[in-house]
Structure 1
Amino acid sequence: MATLKFDELNVLWFNKMELPTAEKLLRIEMAAVFERELNKIFSSQRERADSDKYLLYATVYATIMSSTYIEITNNYFLKYVLNIASNVKGLSEYSQKWIVKHSEQFAKEIQQTTQRLIESGDYDNAFSVSRARTISRTEINALCECATLEGYYQSGYTKKMWVSFKDNKVRDTHKVADGQVRRLFEPFDIGNSQLMFPQDSSLGASAKEIVNCRCVMQPVK
């Protein structure tokens, strides 16, 4: 069987999500851009990983990763919101704060994990294409779900509903949450975690409730 190209893998993965075609295509494009940039960062890190001065670069790499995230946000966030809302009168305070906080938080956590993998000698996983792909999918989905919430807000919706992907790979906690309704800026209860939307880590949600999640939201009036 021929090996699928990375873009084809992403197409297959995102295509399984219960989303309008335009939103799927935008997520695929965003993930491809982010994955490409992450691989560049990982390549640079790998070249310096054996250096006794590597720790001096750690903060720099976290900053680069955060800046890359912000650049993608600037290029795509409003475009995604406009798939949901016909008119946008300035982003909500919630979205503005979430984007800034998350760009810093995720970059710091990724860099900390990279450092632990380097220290354990596990370079294959630290700088792998599959790790970059998993990170890009998770982070792009989180960003797009924040944009979805913003779209609901701009459209005048007051409530949201958690929708799980109904196959045998869905986590039990996400199956239980399927159909859960909350006020727009009230968190969902997912297992022992709280999430404002799928893949949200701003309230301290466990990684096991976030990584590779394919759940989405739907608006409720």
Structure 2
Amino acid sequence: MTNPKITNQNDIDEYIEGLISKAEKPIEQLFANRLKEIKQIIADMFEKYQNDDAYVTWTEFNKYNRLNKELTRIGTMLTDDYRQVAKMIQKSQEDAYIEKFLMSLYLYEMASQTSMQFDVPSKEVIKSAIEQPIEFIRLMPTLQKHRDEVLKKIRMHITQGIMSGEGYSKIAKAIRDDVGMSKAQSLRVARTEAGRAMSQAGLDSAMVAKDNGLKMKKRWHATKDTRTRDTHRHLDGESVEIDQNFKSSGCVGQAPKLFIGVNSAKENINCRCKLLYYIDENELPTVMRARKDDGKNEVIPFMTYREWEKHKRKKK
């Protein structure tokens, strides 16, 4: 196990984001393997049953319920795949939570020279802490929906492709696009869920510090580039007490990715904002990294999003 250097909150976030990126690799590999297997199933059927006459090909594919059996088999494979994806995401969430929680408390102890009293969260406590509060966007229903969508598309492209006389190559390309879309969805869910766990852990560790006598506050920190959503730009630089909510688009939340409300999905998914936890405003960073127009990072004096935007517009 590596022993990361932790001198500030950014060190913690960069380390955990590296763990999250590593956790995405098995998901990518799983979908690559599944695509290969589905394409092989279709290739084998074309080799056995394809005819110059599209009608004869369709008839042969359907004789003895051949095609439907293979489509059912593909559905079973995808069910198993998404179960594995769910386990991978849950593991990534748990790892992100415990690392962020303990590393943050280590940082607070070192900075305050105070020994804090707290219980290291058990697996059950972590599961409860990171449970999605909104029923219809919880992990399992979300992945089930994605599984059903991709299976429907795969079935449609295979069936319609054979009926219309399309060759293997055209059908294989459509399936590659379908599986690619499914992979992208799963990776987005994985990153959002791990990020949500990380955000919750940051909040929970700050609450522990507060319970141990540290008077802490939190400040919203938006990513300084043009992709930052409009609804989060106005939050940048806003400071509140540890247990207070931020408000955006009719939603409330104590930290990025933790919004609850009608528009919460739009507020949380792909959010790159963070919180800066601090005891004294003098401890807040005086410089920050921002993305330049050419995609490279630059170090500039610390400023809010609107100040940064004004700075960028002046340069043009």
Compute the TM-score of the two structures, normalised by the length of structure 2. Answer: 0.52
**Residues 222 and 232, structure 2, Cα contact 8 Å, conserved in 1:** yes
2:100 counterpart letter in structure 1:
Y
Shift of 1:109: 0.9
Which residue number in structure 1 is paired with residue 118 of structure 2?
Answer: 89
Contact 1:194 1:205 in 2 (8 A): no
How many angstroms apart in 2 are the aligned matches of 1:72 and 1:106? Answer: 13
| C-alpha RMSD of the superposition | 3.6
Distance in 1, Cα, partners of 2:33 & 2:243? 39
Question: In the alignment, which residue of structure 1 is the partner of 2:181?
Answer: 126
- The 5 A counterparts of 1:189-208 are 189-200=247-258, 205-208=263-266
Residue aligning to 1:139:
193
Structure 2 unaligned segments of length 5 or more: list them: 1-7, 40-69, 107-115, 155-176, 280-316
Question: Offset at 1:163?
Answer: 1.5
Q: Give the aligned partner of residue 106 of structure 1.
A: 139
User: Looking at CA atoms only, which structure, 1 or 2, has the larger radius of gyration?
Assistant: 2
CA contact (8 A) 1:31 1:136 kept: no
Distance 1:219 1:75, change over 3 A: closer
Per the normalisation by structure 1, the TM-score is 0.70
Q: Say if 2:192 and 2:270, in contact at 8 Å, map to a contact too.
A: yes
1:37 to 10, 26, 29: 26
CA change 1:98–1:57 in 2 (3 A) is: farther
Question: What secondary structure is seen at the aligned counterpart in 1 of 2:275?
Answer: strand
Number of residue pairs aligned between Structure 1 and Structure 2: 201
Provide the residue aligned with 2:72 in structure 1.
52
Letter in 1 for 2:257: Q
- Check 1:165–1:83 CA distance in 2 against 1; reply closer, same or farther (3 A cut): same
Structure 1: 5+ residue stretches without partners: 1-17
**Alpha-carbon distance in 1 for matches of 2:139, 2:199:** 16
Higher relative contact order (CA 8 A, sep 6+): 1
State the AA in 1 paired with 2:246. Answer: F
1:111 alignment partner AA: Q
- Report deviation, 1:204: 6.0
Paired-residue identity, %: 18
